[in-house]
A and B are shown apart, each in its own frame.
Chain A
Amino acid sequence: DAGVTQSPTHLIKTRGQQVTLRCSPKSGHDTVSWYQQALGQGPQFIFQYYEEEERQRGNFPDRFSGHQFPNYSSELNVNALLLGDSALYLCASSFFGGSGANVLTFGAGSRLTVL
């Protein structure tokens, strides 16, 4: 049973560029959440997708956008990259509703470096 898969694992971009990160949730999960984790810090919630709609959003600018597809996979897009966007981007999947919503399964992350 495959867990959460993310791609790419590492990428380097320059300021002003745009990036797209991809996530496939764990089998049986229908909800995808995206987190940004800076070195030595806890994950910061970006947004959550369920039924192809953004359900919750953290304190991130509109440069951060996402999408969920009918097969529950998701993309995170970041426009106009800043140096401060350098971080590990984590995707977490869960089952919406009930106690399943409280158990997140994380992917290994995409490490983004902005030069």
Chain B
Amino acid sequence: GQSLEQPSEVTAVEGAIVQINCTYQTSGFYGLSWYQQHDGGAPTFLSYNALDGLEETGRFSSFLSRSDSYGYLLLQELQMKDSASYFCAVRDGGSNYQLIWGAGTKLIIKP
């Protein structure tokens, strides 16, 4: 079956760096995505990795290792507005290319 594992909660200090990990198990892999969702809001797209390596977009970076079935989201220079839930999602070729989502990581930022 398919599964994605990510920590349920991470706490960090404003201005610091935090890494949110995601490990996946799918029958076919066609890319790892990250979405941010504030309480009561809609998920918003952050990044997409199809190939191994690091993708950087401003303060956010996303990494993928297909051989390890592992990826992470790196948030730098944390701001209070980054407090939200972060979801990893994998496009699974074994499930007709559906997007399979993790349960989300709640990021708590303290001043």
Is A50's beta carbon under 8 Å from chain B? no
The digit string for A74-115, where 1 denotes a CB below 8 A from any CB of B, is 000000000000000010100000010011111111000000
Interface residue count on the B side (C-beta < 8 Å): 23
The digit string for B71-111, where 1 denotes a CB below 8 A from any CB of A, is 00000000000000001010100001111111110000000
The docked-state distance in angstroms from the alpha carbon of A45 to that of B101 is 9
A to B CB contacts below 8 Å, 30 in the list: A4-B42, A40-B103, A40-B104, A41-B103, A41-B104, A42-B4, A42-B89, A42-B101, A42-B102, A43-B43, A43-B101, A44-B101, A45-B98, A45-B99, A45-B100, A45-B101, A90-B43, A92-B43, A102-B33, A102-B50, A103-B48, A104-B43, A104-B45, A104-B99, A105-B45, A106-B43, A107-B42, A108-B41, A108-B42, A109-B42
